[in-house]
Chain A
Amino acid sequence: MLHINCPFCGLRAQKEFAYGGDATVKRPELNKEVSKEEWDNFVYMRKSPRGKHIELWHHISGCRQWFKVQRDTATHEIFKTAKMSEEIT
């Protein structure tokens, strides 16, 4: 079970969180022309990298904040967690 450092609450067990997928995906802006391809990429296409991955987690049994986690998908090592307003580079 992972140990995740919520930027608002601190280190908590994975049980308290829900996984939210790739954090680098940006939703196309509202009311703007979007090509079919761009929209399909946004809705369906996700990478499944081995190694470092910036992803979303939701502290559902805690502060209910969504935040970013940089994790190695192979070893589960977590390098960094950050608020949505912060960048992970």
Chain B
Amino acid sequence: MKQSHRLNNVGLINRDKVITFNFNGKSYQGYEGDTLASALLANGVHLVGRSFKYHRPRGFIGAGVDEPNAKLQVTINGHSEPNINATEIELVEGLSATSQNCWPSVEFDIGAINNFLKRFFPAGFYYKTFMWPKSFWYKVYEPFIRKAAGLGVASLEKDKERYEHKFEYCDLLVTGSGPSGLASAYAAAKNGAKVILAEDKPRYGGTLLTDDVSIDNMSGKDWSEKIISELKTMPNVILKNRSQVFGYYDHNMMVMFERVGDHLSNKSKYTPRQRLWYIRAKETILSTGSIERPIVFGNNDTPGVVLSSAAKEYMKVYGVLVGRKPIIFTNNDSAYETAFEFKKNNVEPIILDTREEHDSEVVQEAKNKGIQIKFSYGVIVANGYKKVKSAKIGKLTKDKKSFESTETINCDCICVSGFWTPTVHLASQSGNKLKFDEKIDAFIPDKSKQNEKTIGAANGSFTLQETIESGFKTGSELSSKITDKNNENKIPTVTETKYSVHDKFWCMPLPKNENPKRFVDFQNDVAVSDIEIALREGYRSIEHVKRYTTLGMATDQGRTSNLNGLQMVSNIENKIVPEVGHTTFRPPFTPITIGTIVGREVGMEFMPTRKTPMHEWHEKNNAVFVDAGAWKRPRYYKQGNETLLEASKREAKNVRENVGICDVTTLGKIDIKGPDAAEFLNRVYTNAWLKLPVGKARYGVMLREDGMIMDDGTTTRISENHYHMTTTTAQAANVLSHLEYYLQIVWPELNVNVVSTTEQWAGAAIAGPKSRDMLSKLFPDLDVSNEALPFMGYIESNLFGVPARIFRISFSGELAYEVNVESNYGLFMWEKMMEIGQEFNNQPYGTEALSTLRIEMGHVAGPELDGRTIPQDVSLDGLVSKKKDFIGKNSLGKEAFVLENRQKIVGLVPTDRKSSIPEGSHLVENEKAKLPNPKLGHVSSSCWSVENNNPFSLAIVNDGKNMIGKKLFAVSPLKNTSIEVEIISSHYVDPEGKRVRS
């Protein structure tokens, strides 16, 4: 198939490799090395999308990151992604793209009716229109706005691609491989510095690929290739193309994304699609170049209106003509080069120069080449709907506010140039306050805030000589500071055209009685008239104008529109641009995928999985697991078709009647040693610890300084100066940090050391009336009688040769023990317990049965110790010492904490003894009361009491102690339930605690 606008023998594409792709259902061909944009243009396709608000036909304006319009829905390898910039994505076999924001098609889009209603859609339209009636918001306005918002469609399927993260350190990071970037990277590399050179595009060289210059008698392209090939041989250099540094963060950390896989046709399963680099650089050189500014004129958004630099790039890099009858519309010299390039390819351009007749070097050259130039001329309005057909042009009067004459000339493209805007985003992100440079009418970086230095066009120097010199000098200086080497560089000789001054003119006036839209921001459909409205309505701050008009927002971030917008505000306000100021630049410079940010931390790799040494056994025995932080804990062991409730009832009942074992490895364990350990515990816990004898455990509660309970658990005195502390599974890490805080900061004089031993010990609880019998079989040589090992006793022994710690502690409220062995023997211990337990009808039980057992005993856990309860609230005030001081004690005297009707833990049973009470239900007096219905408390934990065979819950209720015997309603708007409940004691089973001591 013929590519109608492809030039012969021009460009850097690989013509040996034809690539077939699909656009809006039609098949096209391009070449390897094309972007989707250049391939479409090669086929004469300009119309690629519809604008956001008015659905006007839009085509390509730029050739890279500057492109505001050509955002397409692109599918590669079956993976579809919206808002892909056609000018940045490389063509690969099988790529398929469709236009966005149009229906039924980009050629005929019903939404374009907005264009005829445009006087009803001025700036601030949304703020003004969707205000009243208020009741319309949810049902009418919001759905309408939602439908209109956004452009493409996000895929609902799981992203199957692989994304990676990489961390790198270097002496010097150079962002951009144009002339200044290449020169500085080269100089620094020669000084032995570790250099990373990042280039956003697939090809290195930046403007050297398109500018007609010579360096050391080589073309710009050849010189850049020579430097790159030399850098490639140097081990201290990392060269990265297709890699954009998009964010500059604190302490000189840059984040860069690398497009690794999308341009490959046959990539392996392990090739990531994209890679995110976190780069910590000692020094950074920002050589990000500049972006061409458009000049604003009537219907300047018509497809076929392109930036002059883009037209040149399409010709020189891709061998593509954007048109065969071009108008070059410029206020400066650089666009003449585009005219020369057209001429070279046998296309006759006409140059409209807004400046008065002058005789600069490029004007001479144009005249010599026989190119027609019209001085003091500009394009007033582009004619044509889906493609430029002609242009009404006019000769400007001296004051440039009206026209001496106008005429219409035929054309098929308008290449516009309004001079250059340095790309200062990264410098600004680093904290650099920008300054306005009147010489170039744009902002450039001011004083460096971090170790960054901006050079070349990004710093406003637009001659190659200056750029290359500053590159060599800066690269050399920054690197020699680090490496202490000072390699002499021969600065190459540069030949380039000398440019004359540009015209400070960016917006064409309109003839009387003509009112075409003149767009400033293409992506957000912001026209000159919108900015005028914003100012007329009193918006003065540029940040407000931005938000009211949406100028410079969205993915484009005003790359081509910011300065024209500022210029307009400054003209209307009669202020100079620096007084108007600029809006804030924020990362990312261009959009990045969520996948890149997430990296490999998806699915199973989202966070580490912690498994106990017995995990394998649980898996083999039908355990259904539950996440407890990063831990996997058996929730219940499923038998047959059992439900969760059935299984947990069976397991809990078996503990009450016989014996059960539970994997308690996940409990936090902290080893505490030192001569002041007892004193330390005495300060950390609310109860007394100085007199705990060796070989005894004690239950303790620790508070935060604000008096709220932080955690609870038992601590055992292993020997004189050695304690073993247990914490809840959830609070293990926090408790360790808490202890370290007090030991290192508050009481450094205490001679105590703490270390986490959670992973070192495997633990199993043996609970139930037959647990002592079972224990005696596990430790046949040991006296495990009530006298030798009483409640809260501790013995060390060995389990068939394995050293073991035996604690007589109980969470279930039954006679119970916990056995700890070194983690490696955890599975051995468990299997021995299962084997020996058989004759006692031992069964393993999971966390659901564990909860059931503790709830009906009225033992508190996480849901009650939620950071909002003091000891009194959960009936633990008996553990609060009145004699000694401890962490948080002073807070317990606060008025709210000693109120007579303070909240307190209670038990709840449904009056029908049948309905389960959802956890989180609110307790109210009258279920039918008008909202807001006063909340009297909440349900913290619920279970099915196996002892009494009916539902039972724990709750925290206002004035709990005087509420026993009353009836309330437990309502859960989430579950849509309302259950009448009776308030009883929180100790539903064995209130005297006889069993644990039996």
Chain A positions 56-76 with a Cβ under 8 Å from a chain B Cβ: 56, 58, 60, 64-66, 75-76
Is B611 an interface position by the 8 A CB rule?
Answer: no
| Chain B residues with CB under 8 A of A56 | 745
Chain A positions 37-89 with a Cβ under 8 Å from a chain B Cβ: 39, 42-44, 56, 58, 60, 64-66, 75-76, 78, 84-85
CB of A59 to closest CB in B, whole Å = 10
Contact (Cβ within 8 A) A1 B737: no
Is B972 an interface position by the 8 A CB rule?
Answer: no
Contact (Cβ within 8 A) A42 B705: yes
Contact (Cβ within 8 A) A34 B250: no
Partner of A1, one of B253, B706, B746: B253
Chain A positions 1-58 with a Cβ under 8 Å from a chain B Cβ: 1-3, 13, 18, 20, 27-28, 30-31, 34, 39, 42-44, 56, 58
Contact (Cβ within 8 A) A28 B741: no
Chain B positions 725-778 with a Cβ under 8 Å from a chain A Cβ: 733, 737, 740-741, 744-746, 748
Contact (Cβ within 8 A) B891 A66: no
| Chain B residues with CB under 8 A of A58 | 737, 740-741
Complex alpha-carbon distance, A39 and B893, angstroms: 11
Contact (Cβ within 8 A) B278 A1: yes
Partner of B741, one of A2, A13, A43, A66: A66
| Chain A residues with CB under 8 A of B885 | 30-31
| Chain A residues with CB under 8 A of B891 | 39, 43
CB of A46 to closest CB in B, whole Å = 13
CB of A6 to closest CB in B, whole Å = 13
Complex alpha-carbon distance, A58 and B742, angstroms: 12
Contact (Cβ within 8 A) A2 B251: yes
Complex alpha-carbon distance, A24 and B705, angstroms: 17
Given A30-B885, A43-B891, A60-B737, the answer on whether A66 and B745 have CB atoms closer than 8 Å is: yes
Among B252, B748, B890, max chain A CB count under 10 A is at: B890
| Chain B residues with CB under 8 A of A34 | 890
Contact (Cβ within 8 A) A66 B250: no
Complex alpha-carbon distance, A66 and B683, angstroms: 20
Given A39-B890, A42-B705, A75-B431, the answer on whether A2 and B740 have CB atoms closer than 8 Å is: no
Is B449 an interface position by the 8 A CB rule?
Answer: yes
Is B221 an interface position by the 8 A CB rule?
Answer: no
Complex alpha-carbon distance, A76 and B253, angstroms: 13
Is B28 an interface position by the 8 A CB rule?
Answer: no
Contact (Cβ within 8 A) A76 B740: no
Among B251, B253, B278, B280, max chain A CB count under 10 A is at: B251
CB of A31 to closest CB in B, whole Å = 5
Is B249 an interface position by the 8 A CB rule?
Answer: yes
CB of A10 to closest CB in B, whole Å = 13
Given A3-B280, A43-B706, A64-B740, the answer on whether A85 and B748 have CB atoms closer than 8 Å is: yes
Contact (Cβ within 8 A) A1 B683: no
Chain B 683-702, CB-CB to A under 8 Å as 1, else 0, gives 10000000000000000000
Contact (Cβ within 8 A) A18 B683: no
Contact (Cβ within 8 A) A66 B744: yes
Complex alpha-carbon distance, A82 and B826, angstroms: 42
Chain B positions 430-461 with a Cβ under 8 Å from a chain A Cβ: 431, 449
Instruction: Using CB atoms, name the residue of chain A closest to B746.
Output: A27
| Chain B residues with CB under 8 A of A76 | 250-251
| Chain A residues with CB under 8 A of B280 | 3, 13
Instruction: Using CB atoms, name the residue of chain A closest to B249.
Output: A1
| Chain B residues with CB under 8 A of A66 | 740-741, 744-745
| Chain A residues with CB under 8 A of B884 | 31
Complex alpha-carbon distance, A43 and B897, angstroms: 15
Complex alpha-carbon distance, A64 and B733, angstroms: 11
CB of A40 to closest CB in B, whole Å = 9
Complex alpha-carbon distance, A48 and B668, angstroms: 34
CB of B883 to closest CB in A, whole Å = 10
Complex alpha-carbon distance, A88 and B249, angstroms: 26
Complex alpha-carbon distance, A20 and B890, angstroms: 22
| Chain A residues with CB under 8 A of B253 | 1, 3
Complex alpha-carbon distance, A44 and B708, angstroms: 13
Complex alpha-carbon distance, A84 and B748, angstroms: 9
CB of A67 to closest CB in B, whole Å = 9
* A-B CB contact pairs (8 Å), 21 listed: A1-B253, A1-B278, A3-B250, A3-B251, A3-B252, A3-B280, A28-B890, A30-B683, A31-B884, A31-B885, A39-B890, A42-B705, A43-B705, A58-B737, A60-B737, A65-B740, A65-B744, A66-B745, A75-B431, A78-B251, A85-B748
| Given pairs A1-B250, A2-B251, A43-B706, 14 additional interface contacts (CB within 8 A) | A1-B253, A3-B252, A28-B890, A30-B885, A39-B891, A43-B705, A43-B891, A64-B740, A65-B740, A65-B744, A66-B740, A75-B449, A76-B251, A84-B745
Which 6 A/B pairs are nearest by Cβ-Cβ distance?
A3-B251, A30-B885, A76-B250, A66-B744, A31-B885, A39-B890
